[in-house]
Chains A and B, each alone.
Chain A
Amino acid sequence: MNPVNYLYLAALLFTIGATGVLIRRNAIVVFMCIELMLNACNLAFVVFSRMHGNLDGQIIAFFTMVVAAAEVVVGLAIIVSLFRSRHSASVDDASLMKL
C-alpha cells in the first residue's frame, strides 16, 4: 500500500483535531482533540520514517508520546481543579488572565 495514503490519513486526523480545538468549548473535548493532533503528527513521523528508511521519525514519535503523557497529567489536573473552582469545564469561562 502506498505510504502516502497514511499521510492523507494523518492530515485528516490533524484537521479534525484542529477543528475540534477551535470550535468546542468543553475543556475535555479540546484536550482530546489536542491528543488527536499529536497522534496525527506521530503517524506522520512514523510514515516518514518508513519512507526514508531510517529510525529518526520513530524515535521522535516516542518522544512525542512521552511528552503527550506528561501533558495529559498536567492538563487533566488543571482541568479538574478548574472544574472544582468554577463548576464548569468550559474554556471560555477561564478568561481571567486577560488585562
Chain B
Amino acid sequence: MENLIALLIAAPLLGAAVLLVGGRRLDAVGHWIGTLLSTASFVIGAVLFVGLLGRSADDRTLIQHLYTWIPVESFQADVTFRLDQLSMTFVLLITGVGSLIHLYSVGYMEHDERRRRFFGYLNLFLAAMLLLVLADNYLLLYVGWEGVGLASYLLIGFWQHKPSAATAAKKAFLVNRVGDMGLSIAIMLMFTTFGSFAFGPVFGHVGGTSEGRLTAIGLMLLLAACGKSAQVPLQSWLGDAMEGPTPVSALIHAATMVTAGVYLIVRSSAIFNAAPDAQLVVTVVGGVTLLFGAIVGCAKDDIKKALAGSTMSQIGYMVLAAGLGPIGYVFAIMHLVTHGFFKAGLFLGAGSVMHGMNDEVDMRRYGGLRKYMPITFITFGLGYLAIIGFPGLSGFFSKDKIIEAAFAKGGTEGWILGGAALVGAALTAFYMTRVMLMTFFGEERWRTGSGAAADGHDGHGEPHPHESPGIMTIPMMVLAVGSVFAGFFFNLGDRFLHWLEPVTGHSEGHSPVSALTVTGATMVCLVVGVAVAWAQYGRKPVPAAAPRGSLLTRAARRDLLQDDFNHVVLVRGGEHLTRSLVYVDHTLVDGVVNGTAASFGGLSGRLRRLQNGFARSYAVSMFGGAALLVAATLLMRAV
C-alpha cells in the first residue's frame, strides 16, 4: 500500500507537465485532463484512507522510500514520504477540495484563452502541496513549501497583463521568501543540533538537547509559518493575492496553502512541546492575527478582500490553537478542515457572484442578489452560518473548542487569549453579516446611477446578474454540505480526536471556566456581532460611496497601515539603499581602481613630455647622464 503514496503526487505532477509542455494542441481538452488527474489523486487518497482505517490506531503510519536525494557525508536527504493520520487528513482535504475547485474552474475560466495553462498551474499546486504534507523530512517539505509558493505566484499573477496582478504575485513570493528563510535556518539548526532533519530522528532526540536550541528552531519554524499562513507580521501579501482568479483564492488562499503554516507547527509538535517560550510566541502571533484579520475584514468593501481578512483571522485561530500545545493541536486541525470547507465555499460563492456581475468586486455595488442567484445565495448563506459559528454547523464545533482550549491554557495568558478569541468571534459575526447583507440583501445598488456601475472592470455597462452554470454550482453545493455537517460528524464520539491523537498527542486542559459558560459567551458575542451589523447595514440603506469612516475604519481599509509601513521602510528604504550602492560601486569601488589607473596615466603623461622630439635635448640628457656616471665613478674611487 505504501507504493501508492508517490502516485498521489505523481498524478497531478504529470498533469502539470503535460498541460504546460503540451502546448496549444491540448487547449480543447486541457481542463478535463487537469480535473481528471486531480480526481485520480483524490481517489488514490480515498483508497489509502480506507486502508489506514483498516489498521489499528498505532499502526497507521506508512513510509515510502523512493531514493536518496542529496547525500554528502553526514548530510543525507532522502525522498521519503510519510503518510500518517495528519497527512492523510490533509491529503483528503487538498485533493477533495482541489478536485471540486478544478471542476468549478472549468466553468469559471471558460472564456479565458489560457485556460489550459491555468489548469496546469492548479495541478502543479496540488502536487507541491501534497509533497509538502507527505514529506518525511524537513528538506523535502521545503521543496513542497516553495513549490506551493511558486504555484501561488503563478496563479496570483495569472492575469499578468494587469500590472496589479503581477505586482501582487511578486509581493506574495517575496514575503513568503522571508518566511522561507526561517524554514531554511530552522533546517540548518536541526542539522547542527541533531545531525539530521528527518522527522523521526529529530523528534526522537528532542529530549537530548537544550531548550534554547529548541526555542530557536521553534521560532524559525514560526517565521516560516507566518509567511505561508499570512500571520502578523508577514500577512501583507494575502489581501493583494486576491488579484488572482477566484478559484485560486478559494483553493490556495483559503482552503489549503495558507494553512500550511498550521501544518508545520502541528507536525513539529515535538519541538514546540519542549519549547514553551516558542509556544507562547505562537499563541501571541495567532491571537494578534485573529484580531488583525477580523478588523481588516470589517472595513473592506471588496468582497474578496473582506474574505481574505476573514481567512487571516481564522488561521489566526488555528495558529493560536496550535500554540496551546497538546490541548489545542487536534482542534487546530479540525478548524482547519472545517474552515477548508466553508471558506472555499464562500470564495466560490463570491466567484459566482462576480461571474454574474461582470467581475465587479465592490460590495457597495451589489445588493439584493438573492433573487437573481438563489443557489449561490443558499450555499453562501450556509457557509456564512458555518463561519460565524451558528450552533450545529461546522464552525460552531471547531471554533468553540479552540476558545475553550484558550481559556484552558490557564493563568493570565489563558484569560487574555480566550478573551481575544471571544472578541474575534464577535468580529467574525459582524463582518460576515456585513458581507452577507451588502451582497444579497437590501436594494439593488448596481442599477442605481448610470456612471457608478458602468465603470466595471470589463466595462460591459450595467450588469445582468444571473445564476452560474451547474458545473460551478455543484461544487458549491458539495462544499455547503461539508460546511454544515463536517463539524457535527467530526465531533460525533470525538472521532476526529481519536483519529489524530496518535500523531499529535492530546491532553485535556483545566479550564477555569466551564465549557458551557464558554459556549454561552460565544453565543452572546455572535448575537452582538450580528445585531450590530444588521443595525448598520440591514436596517438602513448602504451608501454606494464609502463614507469617510472613523480613524480605525480608515486605517483598517489600508490594512492597518502595515502596507504603508512596509512601503516607506522596506520599499523606499531598499530603493535608496540599492541606488546609493550602485553609485558607490561606480564611484568608489570602481573609482579606486580607475583612480589608480588614472594616476599612472597622469604620471606617464608627464614623463612623456620629456620626449619632445628635439635631437639636441636628447643629446643634453645623454651628456648629463654621462657626466653623472663619470662623477659617480670618480666619487666611488675617492671613497
Contact status B611-A22, CB under 8 Å: no
For chain A residues 54-99, which have a beta carbon within 8 Å of chain B?
A: 91-92, 94-99
A99 to B613 alpha-carbon distance, docked (Å): 8
Complex contacts, A94 vs chain B, CB 8 Å: 615
Q: How many residues of B contact A (CB 8 A)?
A: 10
Question: How near does chain A come to B168, taking the closest CB pair, in angstroms?
Answer: 62
Complex contacts, A23 vs chain B, CB 8 Å: 616
Question: How near does chain B come to A52, taking the closest CB pair, in angstroms?
Answer: 19
Contact status A95-B623, CB under 8 Å: no
For chain B residues 573-631, which have a beta carbon within 8 Å of chain A?
A: 608, 611-616, 619-620, 623
Assess whether A21 is interfacial by the CB under 8 Å rule.
yes
Contact status A22-B619, CB under 8 Å: yes
Contact status B623-A22, CB under 8 Å: yes
Assess whether A18 is interfacial by the CB under 8 Å rule.
yes
Contact status B623-A18, CB under 8 Å: yes
A48 to B619 alpha-carbon distance, docked (Å): 27
**Within the complex, which residue of B611, B614, B620 is in contact with A99, where a contact is CB–CB below 8 Å?**
B611
For chain A residues 4-53, which have a beta carbon within 8 Å of chain B?
A: 18, 21-23, 25, 30
Contact status B611-A98, CB under 8 Å: yes
Contact status B616-A22, CB under 8 Å: yes
**Within the complex, which residue of B608, B613, B616 is in contact with A21, where a contact is CB–CB below 8 Å?**
B616
Contact status B613-A97, CB under 8 Å: yes
A20 to B323 alpha-carbon distance, docked (Å): 104
Q: Tell whether A98 pairs with B612 under 8 Å between CB atoms, given A18-B623, A22-B623.
A: yes
A92 to B616 alpha-carbon distance, docked (Å): 8
Question: How near does chain A come to B624, taking the closest CB pair, in angstroms?
Answer: 11
Contact status A21-B612, CB under 8 Å: no
Contact status A91-B616, CB under 8 Å: yes
Question: How near does chain A come to B603, taking the closest CB pair, in angstroms?
Answer: 15
A18 to B630 alpha-carbon distance, docked (Å): 16
Q: How large is the interface on A (under 10, 10 to 19, 20 to 34, 35 or more residues)?
A: 10 to 19
Contact status B611-A21, CB under 8 Å: no
A80 to B620 alpha-carbon distance, docked (Å): 24
A92 to B623 alpha-carbon distance, docked (Å): 18
A11 to B623 alpha-carbon distance, docked (Å): 15
Complex contacts, B615 vs chain A, CB 8 Å: 30, 91-92, 94-95
In the complex, which residue of chain B has the Cβ closest to the Cβ of A91?
B615
A21 to B616 alpha-carbon distance, docked (Å): 7
Complex contacts, A18 vs chain B, CB 8 Å: 623
A31 to B349 alpha-carbon distance, docked (Å): 109
Complex contacts, B616 vs chain A, CB 8 Å: 21-23, 25, 30, 91-92
A65 to B309 alpha-carbon distance, docked (Å): 108
Contact status B614-A21, CB under 8 Å: no
Contact status A98-B613, CB under 8 Å: yes
Complex contacts, B623 vs chain A, CB 8 Å: 18, 22
Contact status A95-B619, CB under 8 Å: no
Complex contacts, A22 vs chain B, CB 8 Å: 616, 619-620, 623
Contact status A92-B620, CB under 8 Å: no
A30 to B615 alpha-carbon distance, docked (Å): 10
Question: How near does chain A come to B164, taking the closest CB pair, in angstroms?
Answer: 62
A30 to B614 alpha-carbon distance, docked (Å): 13
A98 to B615 alpha-carbon distance, docked (Å): 10
Contact status A99-B619, CB under 8 Å: no
Question: How near does chain B come to A91, taking the closest CB pair, in angstroms?
Answer: 5
Contact status B619-A96, CB under 8 Å: no
Contact status B620-A95, CB under 8 Å: no
**Within the complex, which residue of A25, A30, A96 is in contact with B613, where a contact is CB–CB below 8 Å?**
A96
Question: How near does chain A come to B604, taking the closest CB pair, in angstroms?
Answer: 10
Complex contacts, A92 vs chain B, CB 8 Å: 614-616
Q: Interface code B288-312, partner A: CB below 8 Å = 1, 0 otherwise?
A: 0000000000000000000000000
In the complex, which residue of chain B has the Cβ closest to the Cβ of A98?
B613
A18 to B615 alpha-carbon distance, docked (Å): 13
A95 to B623 alpha-carbon distance, docked (Å): 20
Complex contacts, B613 vs chain A, CB 8 Å: 95-98
A25 to B608 alpha-carbon distance, docked (Å): 23
A22 to B615 alpha-carbon distance, docked (Å): 9
A91 to B611 alpha-carbon distance, docked (Å): 15
A96 to B611 alpha-carbon distance, docked (Å): 11
Complex contacts, B614 vs chain A, CB 8 Å: 91-92, 95
A99 to B614 alpha-carbon distance, docked (Å): 12
A98 to B617 alpha-carbon distance, docked (Å): 12
Question: How near does chain B come to A13, taking the closest CB pair, in angstroms?
Answer: 16
Question: How near does chain B come to A72, taking the closest CB pair, in angstroms?
Answer: 17
A99 to B606 alpha-carbon distance, docked (Å): 12
In the complex, which residue of chain A has the Cβ closest to the Cβ of B611?
A98
A88 to B303 alpha-carbon distance, docked (Å): 98
Complex contacts, B608 vs chain A, CB 8 Å: 99
In the complex, which residue of chain A has the Cβ closest to the Cβ of B610?
A98
A28 to B150 alpha-carbon distance, docked (Å): 88
In the complex, which residue of chain A has the Cβ closest to the Cβ of B626?
A18
Complex contacts, B620 vs chain A, CB 8 Å: 22
Question: How near does chain B come to A73, taking the closest CB pair, in angstroms?
Answer: 19
A51 to B432 alpha-carbon distance, docked (Å): 126
Question: How near does chain A come to B79, taking the closest CB pair, in angstroms?
Answer: 69
A22 to B624 alpha-carbon distance, docked (Å): 11
Question: How near does chain A come to B616, taking the closest CB pair, in angstroms?
Answer: 6
A91 to B617 alpha-carbon distance, docked (Å): 11
A18 to B616 alpha-carbon distance, docked (Å): 11
A23 to B619 alpha-carbon distance, docked (Å): 10
Complex contacts, A30 vs chain B, CB 8 Å: 615-616
Question: How near does chain A come to B614, taking the closest CB pair, in angstroms?
Answer: 5
Across the A-B interface, the 8 shortest Cβ-Cβ residue pairs: A98-B613, A95-B613, A91-B615, A98-B611, A95-B614, A21-B619, A92-B614, A97-B613
What are 16 A-B pairs with beta-carbon distances under 8 A? A21-B619, A22-B616, A22-B619, A22-B620, A22-B623, A23-B616, A30-B616, A91-B615, A91-B616, A92-B614, A92-B615, A94-B615, A95-B615, A97-B613, A99-B608, A99-B611
Q: Which residues on A are within 8 Å of B, measured CB to CB?
A: 18, 21-23, 25, 30, 91-92, 94-99
12 further interface pairs, Cβ-Cβ under 8 Å (given A91-B615, A95-B612): A21-B619, A22-B616, A22-B623, A25-B616, A30-B615, A91-B614, A95-B613, A95-B614, A97-B613, A98-B611, A98-B613, A99-B608
